């Protein structure tokens, strides 16, 4: 049985780093639309890369930060 505790550090950190990564990808897409002469393939592909790399970088850092803030980690 899964424990879906709302104060779970895993769920909180997943919401934070997913939101930040999505915001970064949307910001990249908006900047490339407003400036530059890029194709839609380059824009969407770049936004996908920004999302993916942001997730990779933010997952361990945000999870550790949330665990420390909640007092459940070292």
31 has a pLDDT exceeding 60 = yes
Residue 23 CA to residue 62 CA, distance in Å, equals 15
Structure tokens at 31: 């900047």
pLDDT at 49: 98
pLDDT at 4: 61
pLDDT at 73: 61
DSSP label at residue 35: S
pLDDT at 57: 98
Dihedral class, residue 2 (left if φ above 0, else alpha if ψ from -120 to 50, else beta): beta
pTM equals 0.84
pLDDT at 9: 86
C-alpha torsion angle, residues 11, 12, 17, 23 (rounded to 10): 110
Predicted confidence band of residue 72 (pLDDT cuts 50, 70, 90): low
């Amino acid at each position: 049985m899964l424990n879906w505790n709302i104060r779970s550090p895993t769920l909180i950190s997943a919401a934070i780093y997913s939101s930040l990564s999505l915001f970064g990808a949307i910001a990249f897409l908006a900047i490339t639309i407003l400036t530059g002469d890029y194709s839609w393939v380059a824009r969407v592909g770049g936004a996908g890369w920004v999302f993916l790399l942001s997730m990779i970088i933010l997952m361990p850092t945000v999870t550790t930060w949330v665990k420390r803030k909640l007092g459940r980690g070292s």
